[in-house]
Amino acid sequence: MTVIIGQPAQLAAGVTSPVFDNHGRPKRDQHGKPMVTAKYPGLHALRHFYASWCINRKVDGGLELPPKLVQERLGHATITMTMDVYGHLFPRAMTVRSWQRLKKRCFRPKPSAVITKSDCRRPMWISRLC
């Protein structure tokens, strides 16, 4: 069993499992950090890493490839297979449109430049929403 010192991102992502001692308590290293083991060990985990790297946005260090190209690189017979396994990783255009609508609606300048007493009691960004 390969034991990895737990990193917060790995723990939050759920790709690791905690290591327990004989009494059922989580084991800790010499620095007090939780010890974990890889949930998906072996070369198959490397395959999933490669797929997520192909899908991630370029600004996040990925290749930002379209689904069809990811399907071809992974050797899946159908695009359905690729989207069933990795569809949650692809960016959604709906999310971008929703964010643009929200930004337009919530972050427009306040019509009046008069500062009232109530504006002083709450953060400026909340005042702009009103």
Q: Model confidence over 74-103: pLDDT tens digits?
A: 999 999 999 999 998 888 765 667 667 767
Percentage of the chain lying above the pLDDT 90 cut: 25
d(CA 87, CA 55): 9
Structural contact between residues 33 and 5, judged by C-beta atoms closer than 8 angstroms: yes
Q: Which of 65, 8, 5 is nearest to 38 (CA)?
A: 5
For residue 128, the model assigns a pLDDT of 52
39-55 residue pLDDT tens? 777 888 889 889 999 99
Structural contact between residues 109 and 128, judged by C-beta atoms closer than 8 angstroms: yes
Report pTM. Answer: 0.50
Parse the chain into domains and list their residue ranges.
3-38, 43-91, 94-129
Cα maximum dimension of the chain: 67
